[in-house]
């Protein structure tokens, strides 16, 4: 057997050389008031870089106004380039690389006050109305929006781009047999349902792939009956690998539209979510939140068993994600054959964790998986157990 790689040694991600194999996963920061890069957002990622990650990821950047999933979300257009450039420079000064997650929220866009677009007309509980069905012209336009967004990130000095194919956003909705009821070339078989995602990934790779790493975040399991599951998501993984347009796949699950807690696991912060919302929304969460925010027991590396199925089926680089909080989990991921490990909540609690692990000063993070950080996403995502002064 080959010796597993050292997670804290330099590694190659496509054209990009990272100082280690630990990635800061995209966790929506809620720090883009006025849809602009704020000093607070820059400091958030500077701190992650200073804490030792190889690459930090700016969370969900919409490729167009209609694709925004929340109010005040960052939308990729020329006006945000100066702020993004400043953020990239701050991260680079700390020795890390920077990526941005790009996506189109689809039916989830209704939560930003928009009428969502989806592969088929569906009822969106986030807006209490039906979406409209994407046309062929929409698909072509949105593909071009992904390319334009990636080029804008390259212009801003970013090192990588993460294309969001999961979590119930538009490309994920096309993959889902539960949501995609189309009878044309974009629906029906898994090959047809994967067509939109594959064309977006290939177009982005053709545009920026020689100079930027291109990653995709892919659902292994939607976490809902009738949704995308391993039997078909493995097929999607094989298609993406055969296309040769990705430098890595980050493996995930769950749906912001249908079952958000499947991604997070642990306690469901229903009361805290209600307290963070306007009164009308808060009432609905208090009455029905326990049905939407279903609690799942937390376990370390809860996606590992599913992700190992991908590792056995694919040769390309894969990123292990989901409840990674301990050094031995990182080492086990390397032994399993994953090239990278992504961490989210653990680094919200302790941004210096990777640096301390590399120095032998820590074996696990301090995150208690209470998920109360979820309720802070509109005011500035943070661990509620960390004092304000420690976040700066």
pLDDT digits (tens, 9 = 90+) for 296-340: 889 999 999 999 999 999 999 999 999 999 999 999 999 999 999
pLDDT of 390 over the 80 cut:
no
Rounded to 5°, angle at Cα 260 from 255 and 266: 140
Average pLDDT over every residue of 363-384: 87
Average pLDDT, the chain: 91
Q: Examine residue 317 and state whether it is found in any structural domain, yes or no.
A: yes
pLDDT on residue 259:
87
Q: Examine residue 1 and state whether it is found in any structural domain, yes or no.
A: no
Average pLDDT over every residue of 365-373: 89
pLDDT on residue 233:
98
* pLDDT tens-digit series, residues 196-218: 999 999 999 999 999 999 999 99
Q: Examine residue 112 and state whether it is found in any structural domain, yes or no.
A: yes
pLDDT of 276 over the 60 cut:
yes
184, 190, 193, 194 alpha-carbon torsion, rounded to 10°: -140
Which residue in the list 169, 262, 302, 306 is annotated as catalytic?
A: 169
Name the band, by pLDDT with cuts 50, 70 and 90, for residue 130: confident
Which CATH number do you get for residue 115?
3.20.20.70
pLDDT of 139 over the 50 cut:
yes
pLDDT on residue 29:
93
pLDDT of 232 over the 90 cut:
yes
Which H or E run contains 343?
Answer: strand 340-343
Choice between 388 and 253, residue whose per-residue pLDDT is larger = 253
User: Does residue 169 carry a catalytic annotation?
Assistant: yes
- Smallest CA-to-CA distance from 269 within 297, 299, 302, 293 is with 293
Q: Examine residue 310 and state whether it is found in any structural domain, yes or no.
A: yes
Q: Examine residue 116 and state whether it is found in any structural domain, yes or no.
A: yes
pLDDT on residue 70:
83
The answer to whether 301 touches 311, Cβ cutoff 8 Å, is no
pLDDT on residue 392:
46
pLDDT of 113 over the 70 cut:
no
pLDDT on residue 37:
97
- Smallest CA-to-CA distance from 59 within 388, 356, 348, 317 is with 348
Q: Examine residue 346 and state whether it is found in any structural domain, yes or no.
A: yes
3-state secondary structure of 249: strand
pLDDT of 369 over the 90 cut:
no
Q: Which residues of 103-142 are buried (b: 16+ CB within 10 A; e: fewer)?
A: bbbbbbbbbbebebbbbbebebbbbeebbeebeeeebeeb
pLDDT on residue 389:
47
pLDDT on residue 69:
85
Choice between 261 and 160, residue whose per-residue pLDDT is larger = 160
- Is the Cα torsion angle 386, 389, 390, 391 positive or negative in sign? positive
3-state secondary structure of 256: coil
φ, ψ of residue 262 to 5 degrees: the values are -65, -30
Residue 152, CA atoms < 13 Å, CB-side half-sphere: 24
Q: Examine residue 124 and state whether it is found in any structural domain, yes or no.
A: yes
pLDDT of 279 over the 70 cut:
no
Q: State which residues form the domain around 95.
A: 11-391
Q: Examine residue 77 and state whether it is found in any structural domain, yes or no.
A: yes
* pLDDT tens-digit series, residues 36-91: 999 999 999 999 999 999 999 999 999 999 999 888 899 999 999 999 999 999 99
pLDDT on residue 257:
81
Number of domains in the chain: 1
pLDDT on residue 63:
97
């Amino acid at each position: 057997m080959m010796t597993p790689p050292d997670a804290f040694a330099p590694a190659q991600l496509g054209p990009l050389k990272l100082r280690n194999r630990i990635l800061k996963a995209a966790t929506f920061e809620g720090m883009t008031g006025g849809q602009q890069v704020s000093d607070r957002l820059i400091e958030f990622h500077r701190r992650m870089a200073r804490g030792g990650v190889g690459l930090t990821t700016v969370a969900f950047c919409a490729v167009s106004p209609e694709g925004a999933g929340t109010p005040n979300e960052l939308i990729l257009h020329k006006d945000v380039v100066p702020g993004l450039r400043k953020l990239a420079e701050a991260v680079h000064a700390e020795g890390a690389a920077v990526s941005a997650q790009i996506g189109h929220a689809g039916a989830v866009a209704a939560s930003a006050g928009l009428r969502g677009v989806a592969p088929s007309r569906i009822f969106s509980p986030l807006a209490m109305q039906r979406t409209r069905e994407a046309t062929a012209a929409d698909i072509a336009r949105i593909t071009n929006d992904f390319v334009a967004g990636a080029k804008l990130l390259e212009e801003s000095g970013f090192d990588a781009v993460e294309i969001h194919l999961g979590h119930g956003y538009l490309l994920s909705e096309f993959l889902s047999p539960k949501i995609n009821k189309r009878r044309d070339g974009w629906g029906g078989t898994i090959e047809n349902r994967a067509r939109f995602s594959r064309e977006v990934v290939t177009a982005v790779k053709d545009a920026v792939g020689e100079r930027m790493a291109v990653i995709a975040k892919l659902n292994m399991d939607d976490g809902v009956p009738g949704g995308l599951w391993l039997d078909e998501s493995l097929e999607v993984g094989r298609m993406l690998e055969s296309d040769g347009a990705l430098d890595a796949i980050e493996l995930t699950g769950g749906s912001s539209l249908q079952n958000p807690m499947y991604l997070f696991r642990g306690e469901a912060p229903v009361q805290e979510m209600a307290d963070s919302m306007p009164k009308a929304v808060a009432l609905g969460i208090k009455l029905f939140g326990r049905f939407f925010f279903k609690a799942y027991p937390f376990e370390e590396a809860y996606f590992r068993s599913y992700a190992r199925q991908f590792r056995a089926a694919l040769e390309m680089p894969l990123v292990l994600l989901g409840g990674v909080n301990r050094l031995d989990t990182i080492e086990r991921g390397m032994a399993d054959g994953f090239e990278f490990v992504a961490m989210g909540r653990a680094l919200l609690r302790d941004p210096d964790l990777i640096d301390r692990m590399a120095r032998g000063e820590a074996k696990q993070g301090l995150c208690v998986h209470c998920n109360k950080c979820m309720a802070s996403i509109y005011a500035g995502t943070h661990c509620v157990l960390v004092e304000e002064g420690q976040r700066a």
